[in-house]
Amino acid sequence: MDINLKTLGWNNFFSENFSEYREKGFLPARISREHTHIYFLYSERGELTAEVAGRIRHRSDTKCEYPAVGDWVAVNPRPGEELATIHAVLPRTSSFSRNVAGSNTQEQVIAANIDLVFIVNGLDNNFNPRRIERYLAHIHDSGAEPVIVLNKTDLCDDVKSRIAEVKKIANETPVIAICALEKDGIQPLKEFILKGKTIALLGSSGVGKSQIINTLIGWNRQAVQEVRSDSKGRHTTTNRELIILPCGGMIIDTPGIREIQVWCDIDGLNKAFADVVGCASHCRFSDCSHEVEPGCAVRASIEEGTLDSARVQSYIKIRKEIHGLEKLQNRRAKITERAKWKKLKNKAQSINRGKY
Ligand SMILES: Nc1nc2c(ncn2[C@@H]2O[C@H](COP(=O)(O)OP(=O)(O)OP(=O)(O)O)[C@@H](O)[C@H]2O)c(=O)[nH]1
Ligand SMILES: [Mg+2]
Ligand SMILES: [Zn+2]
């Protein structure tokens, strides 16, 4: 495969941030996938396999500093081998995070430097505008642009009204409907796939993310699996992977997300729910919860029929989750701070003991 940096998404931003590493003789490369701390990379020298340098490993107190799929890194390839060491992760233009398994408050970056996100929803019984709203809040916070993709048009009798329903919550986000089983069926998607740009696919298990990739590249590269009637126990795709598309552009296949956790801040939420927020600015109290207070413009709009009640409930729920997360993070920060001072105090005491 003929790989050059531009087709991999290299631009001035990365080039500027790479200059100090270029001087030291490092090469730029992009992470395509990771498996138990072994990284697979695309570079101008072809595909490389790499490990992170001890320096990164020891410095990483949070998982955030480890490279993620889509990251640009500075590597030192071993002469004559396809092996390399990763010395640094370049700053990201966008990133997606989730909670580190077993932690409520620690962030782990799962994909980086994504330009566009296809939020995939199925037009079968997977269809769920509330879930789309959640994804939108998440993406507005990531630095990437969303596109809403309604897949499986062949299984839906009333595609037009579904599109209209989603357009109501989409604001300026484009909404397209496709059938991933056919080459012609994915035509509307293709206009969003541009050379050097990176797309990520987000959506629950079984919506057809891997099928979209297979139809785009023209062969069954990714495993796909029929949706079970109880829709449990799926997750056909188990690893994230950055794939170079023959038409230019790159796409990241991701495992279906069971329940999307909020890892966005209030800004992302406000952008995704601009209509609700705009209306809330007319509430009598600036900290109105829109649940019980008098003079609530949001509740009045629901009654008038200009705001959708389910959408407002969804907004309130996500806002509570974000506040809950912030509280946990603050508590964790306080505990860490306390532990730091305690350590310092102990150290000072032992130094003093040595003195006298
Ligand atoms: N009828 C119909 N079936 C589709 C369409 N797109 C995908 N499918 C089928 O839906 C099933 C699930 O598709 P996958 O591509 O495996 O779903 P996925 O989103 O990658 O799922 P995970 O990897 O588990 O997250 C497969 O049997 C696909 O062939 C479509 O447009 N119409
Ligand atoms: Mg898949
Ligand atoms: Zn209110």
CA of 251 to the centre of ligand 1 (A): 16
128 and 234 both lie in a single domain: yes
Q: Which atom of ligand 1 is nearest to the CA of 235?
A: 24
80 and 142 both lie in a single domain: no
Nearest to residue 50, comparing CAs of 68, 61, 37, 60? 37
| H-helix or E-strand spanning residue 119 | strand 116-122
Give the mean model confidence (pLDDT) for residues 246-265: 74
81 and 148 both lie in a single domain: no
Exposure on the CB side of residue 34, measured as CA atoms within 13 A? 18
Q: Which atom of ligand 1 is nearest to the CA of 120?
A: 19
Q: What is the pLDDT of residues 105-159, one digit of tens each?
A: 666 788 899 999 999 999 998 899 998 998 888 888 788 999 999 999 999 999 9
| 56: in domain | yes
188 and 319 both lie in a single domain: no
What percentage of the chain exceeds 70 in pLDDT? 81
CA of 322 to the centre of ligand 3 (A): 18
Q: How many domains, in total, are found in the chain?
A: 3
Here the CATH number for the domain that contains residue 285 is: 1.10.40.50
299 and 332 both lie in a single domain: yes
Q: Which atom of ligand 1 is nearest to the CA of 182?
A: 31
Query: How far is the C-alpha of 94 from the C-alpha of 110, rounded, in Å?
Result: 11
Give the range of the structural domain holding residue 22, as residue numbers without chain letter: 12-94
325 contact partners, CB below 8 Å, separation of at least 6? 104, 105, 262, 263
How many angstroms from the chain centroid is the CA of residue 250? Answer: 15
60 and 143 both lie in a single domain: no
Collapsed DSSP state (helix, strand, coil) of residue 240? coil
Closest ligand to Cα 300 = 3
Predicted local confidence at residue 125, as pLDDT: 85
CA of 292 to the centre of ligand 3 (A): 8
Q: Which atom of ligand 1 is nearest to the CA of 237?
A: 23
245 and 147 both lie in a single domain: yes
CA of 346 to the centre of ligand 2 (A): 52
249 contact partners, CB below 8 Å, separation of at least 6? 193, 194, 195, 196, 197, 198, 199
Predicted local confidence at residue 60, as pLDDT: 56
CA of 7 to the centre of ligand 1 (A): 28
Predicted local confidence at residue 262, as pLDDT: 47
CA of 327 to the centre of ligand 3 (A): 23
286 and 331 both lie in a single domain: yes
> Ligand 1 pocket by C-beta < 6 Å: which residues?
151-152, 154-155, 179-181, 203, 205-211, 224-227, 234-237, 255-256
Probe residue for ligand 1, chosen from 110, 119, 225 as the CB with the greatest number of ligand atoms within 8 Å: 225
| H-helix or E-strand spanning residue 336 | helix 309-355
Structural domain ending residue among the three candidates 38, 65, 94: 94
Q: At what angle do helices 309-355 and 129-140 cross, to 10 degrees?
A: 40
What percentage of the chain exceeds 90 in pLDDT? 55
Q: What is the pLDDT of residues 298-349, one digit of tens each?
A: 999 999 999 999 999 999 988 888 887 767 666 666 666 666 666 666 666 6
| Average pLDDT for the chain | 86
